[in-house]
A and B are shown apart, each in its own frame.
Chain A
């Protein structure tokens, strides 16, 4: 009988994860013990402090390059860069979630099962405030994402996937306005998410089977073993390829790549807008962080085999996102399809197997996250008596009513369209250039062509805002509270700075662009 050895754990390296999960647990206690009146402030402060604390730890750990907790977690350059990105973007999203002055009572329902026009519902209109469980839920999700990008074996990755997905399903259901839409979206997201998780888990099982029987190694699903198995395993490669395909499906679902994107427009539209922004920015980072690690670390030996298939997925994703964005009439759906197309561009970066490709993809994730959060921040502000006015026809003439916010939104849309001197241009450049270097010209051509198509719906919105007369139905833009303003300023400034002087962040990404195995 072999002696059971406890793996050594580097607690300092795991501190960001521990801080977020710990804060989430404290948040649950706050729900139980702090009086309702104070809860919102306490919870928001707790969540923000935890995020900032975790971010500090990420910065302090920035030189770590190690694998800890018995092969389960890798703390290396990409992990730290992406954890930092998730935390900064999550802080912005928390600011949006915490906003209470744009709408009296906030964007979240009082509690999940409250019926419309009930006494509870009316109390909220008097300023009682919505549910504060959103903070611990969001904190759990952030913690899960931090594990997800650090996971160094497939089972840890699967658990992290569930840890950040489950709170997101709940968060999606908590919209105060258009409640049925929100609950329906959450239900769909949950069912389809569970469905995709099953694919992932099945893939893990097949890969486990594939790793058995290598001389001198125990079967396992940690990435070093999988990497060794790709070259050495005596098992049938059918196991490897079927397993790899199923894993990819699970991850591509979260990344919103076609044909696994179908949930995205409904969920983006139905979820409370701050949560949509959170998903569009942070879930993207987490999903692509995992994709990068799985394909660059575990399966890098099979790169010749997966590249054509994932390339086809990338082209399809860009095409679906760009073309369907043209026909959208709702701003949130438009942004959802744009996020699908951006998943395609990110896949182009994933398929460039070089240091530049890796750093370009990470740069893209950060740049896109800032812009998309700023975009959804503006969406929360354009509203009428019934809540947000998301139908595009309502945005006509907004430039006349509120030139300042229309200008900001125009700038963000130009960034999405990849117009130079915005981060949209530099980030596309950062992923396309290495892809071309890696002889993936077809991906770059598809990318350039679809981004040309995609520019059209964006500019249509710009023209609508500026060149149409405001009608009676044109809502005004609510003056944002301090929290939304802060998020908006950060997002817009980052979009500008990363467009004009991207070098520092690119350098940082480049310095971090090396996985440990």
Chain B
């Protein structure tokens, strides 16, 4: 990069940007520490904190617009300073951070509002809002940090909060399992990010964004590739992209507002943020960009295919999230001007996906927590607001003109066709097919839920519309689903120009097809997909699982990715644990004792706790000693190292 990146330091009102993180954090602390005393008013504190953060965010946003150099940096204190290695505890408020702040606090506020009513009958509501605020604080820290260590803080924080929130309904074993799965798969990604940050430190001696971006040019090609792949692993873990996509649909076990906020609108887009923020690294290597694009294209198709075979309303939406984030990865991988397009799609998606998740929550609220779309039908008569708002979300996600998905998704498809040679056809084609499939499965979901004959379970006589506190956020989000795309696609790309490395890039190639033709084609496949689904499911569907062909069975089983995961990660992991436990004989006793204690209890427990023989310990030490001495001698003789 020829230009050097520099941030002005924050002054005036923008000097208090840290309040954005502090307000939800303090509110979370109050909610979690005060205990039952805060039960009566706690949820309103939670809502108010996010509302205040949103208002503040807007103020800062307009302040930033008035500045010439549209990036301000605020160094709070020196976090680590040893020798020449320094990590700032600092914030960076620039156009990219600005739009994320507005998304997180804006959509977050509406979802908080909705949750007040949704969680009204749950005795853990105050605690829930505590975790929810904690999540928002961590997410804001993630997007506001001015170096990778700060980003990592937020990254760990959102992971922790989401783990707690998924496991929130502890009564269900599936929720606990899902929490574990989300946690473990995220850890794989987190490890990638952590090692990436260490690589950055080892090669560049810094983790500050500006210094890293200025230093990328001096790195070797291999280092950039390794660094980029590590960051991509982190991004894929958080954003549910191939090969770490399996946790996201399972995470739907948590309460619906959680799915809407964390697993649709904000946290899962952190991976896209990471790649967009690190664009100078990703733009520096064409191979790296190709990998990102491939991950995006593959995931978007996988999400569509699996989504078409699922019957659980939240899971269909979850797989559609996986697929839409695939589009965003495709966008950020294309590089150049497509970064901004991906961010536009991310923001638009935040609105319409939150809208549909909350809509799904509203449907479940009226249908005794039923989630199977085969047992819905004809709800448009009973839940008019939910129906109409969901319709806006549906039209937006399938990319129908003039709803927001059209303005945000279509440019990514066009950009994919602008690649060089055959890859243009490959990735452009994938994006186009994905658009058609999206139209198919989302229409299936919409029709089966709201139209056709009622196929309710016996205990439901008269589904009811949700109360005002739930429908008002729905209406506001629906307005966003209609209008956001057009507004964002005309304003955000220019606005993001000022973000480090995002501006001023030319289109690499002309598209292999004319622009109007691509637009026409994408609208055509959308109408075809939607029409086909409408024709197939207009009359409802069987309420029991039907025998299916190879493809549908594969899709129902998540394209066997779980099976692969099990074979590649889980089985060796279990084997490793068993082997270690076997070697460490006390561990076996510990395990058996654990079972025995749980079953037997009492004095038997005490007696059995201690069965490790000193002689076996001594043997173990002796064996280890022989090995260490042998290894030292082998090193000395030059056999090793």
Contact = CB atoms under 8 A, between A and B. Distances in A.
B590 A329 contact: yes
Given A265-B590, A308-B640, A507-B81, A449 B577 contact: no
Contacts of A507: 81-82
Contacts of A308: 631, 635, 640-641
* Majority-rule SS of B interface residues: helix
A327 B586 contact: no
A481 interface: no
Given A184-B610, A305-B635, A266 B170 contact: no
A178 B608 CA distance: 12
Interface in A241-267: 241-242, 244-246, 248-249, 253, 258-260, 262-263, 265-266
Interface string B16-27: 000000000000
Interface in A276-314: 304-309, 312-313
Contact of A324 (B79, B581, B618, B629): B581
Nearest to A305: B635
A236 to B, nearest CB: 10
A314 to B, nearest CB: 12
Contacts of B587: 324, 327
Interface string B288-332: 000000000000000000000000000000000000000000000
Interface stretch (A40-48, A372-380, A451-459): A451-459
Contacts of A510: 82-83
B633 A238 contact: yes
Interface stretch (A7-15, A141-149, A428-436): A428-436
B119 to A, nearest CB: 15
Contacts of A180: 610
B636 A241 contact: yes
B198 A187 contact: no
Nearest to B585: A262
A200 B238 CA distance: 48
9 contacts: A181-B606, A188-B612, A246-B629, A320-B584, A329-B598, A403-B33, A433-B198, A448-B195, A466-B127
A415 interface: no
A346 interface: no
B632 interface: yes
Contacts of A262: 584, 586, 612, 617, 620-621
Given A242-B629, A452-B188, A506-B80, 12 more contacts: A180-B610, A199-B625, A258-B624, A259-B621, A308-B640, A328-B594, A407-B33, A420-B152, A448-B194, A459-B163, A501-B79, A502-B80
Interface string A327-350: 111100100000000000000000
Nearest to A328: B590
Interface string A69-91: 00000000000000000000000
A355 B83 CA distance: 9
Interface of B: 32-33, 35, 77-83, 85, 127, 149, 152-153, 156-157, 160, 163-164, 167-168, 170, 176, 179-180, 183-184, 187-188, 190-191, 194-195, 198-199, 201-202, 576-577, 580-581, 584, 586-587, 590-591, 593-594, 597-598, 605-606, 609-610, 612, 614, 617-618, 620-621, 623-625, 627-629, 631-633, 635-636, 640-641
Contacts of B164: 463, 466-467
A166 interface: no
Given A393-B598, A510-B83, A241 B633 contact: yes
Interface residues of A, number: 91
Interface of A: 178, 180-181, 184-185, 187-188, 191-192, 195-196, 199, 237-238, 240-242, 244-246, 248-249, 253, 258-260, 262-263, 265-266, 269-270, 304-309, 312-313, 319-320, 323-324, 326-330, 333, 355-356, 359-360, 391, 393, 403-404, 407, 414, 419-421, 426, 429-430, 432-433, 436-437, 441, 444-445, 448-449, 452-453, 455-456, 459, 463, 466-468, 500-503, 506-507, 510
Contacts of B636: 237-238, 240-241, 305
B153 A452 contact: no
A305 B591 CA distance: 38
Given A459-B163, A503-B79, A309 B191 contact: no
Contacts of A199: 625
A397 to B, nearest CB: 10
B153 A420 contact: yes
B170 A330 contact: no
A397 B499 CA distance: 47
B621 A269 contact: no
Nearest to B84: A356
Contacts of A269: 609
B632 A242 contact: yes
Contacts of A184: 610
A251 B576 CA distance: 27
Contact of A444 (B195, B620, B625): B195
B586 A265 contact: yes
Nearest to A391: B597
B624 A249 contact: yes
A437 B201 CA distance: 9
A7 to B, nearest CB: 33
Nearest to B593: A329
A312 B628 CA distance: 10
Contact of A448 (B156, B163, B191, B577): B191
Contacts of B32: 407
A326 B577 contact: yes
Contacts of B586: 262, 265-266
Question: Can you list the 8 inter-chain pairs with the closest CB atoms, starting with the nearest?
Answer: A259-B624, A329-B594, A420-B153, A245-B632, A467-B170, A452-B187, A241-B636, A262-B617
Given A323-B577, A456-B184, A263 B633 contact: no
A327 B581 contact: yes
Nearest to A327: B591
Given A253-B621, A320-B580, A448-B191, A333 B156 contact: no
A245 B167 CA distance: 48
Contacts of B191: 448-449, 452
B430 to A, nearest CB: 32
Contacts of A444: 195, 198
A458 B635 CA distance: 38
A496 to B, nearest CB: 13
Nearest to A463: B167
B605 A391 contact: yes
B632 A304 contact: no
A270 B623 CA distance: 25
Given A449-B191, A463-B164, A304 B641 contact: yes
B626 to A, nearest CB: 10
Contacts of A467: 164, 167-168, 170
Contacts of B623: 259
A403 B35 contact: yes
A324 B187 contact: no
Contacts of A429: 80, 149
Contacts of B160: 414, 419, 459
A242 B635 CA distance: 11
Nearest to B591: A327
Contacts of B620: 259, 262
Given A199-B625, A419-B160, A506 B82 contact: yes
Given A259-B621, A420-B157, A178 B606 contact: yes
Given A262-B586, A323-B576, A421-B153, A502 B79 contact: yes
B201 A436 contact: yes
Contacts of A441: 202
A108 to B, nearest CB: 19
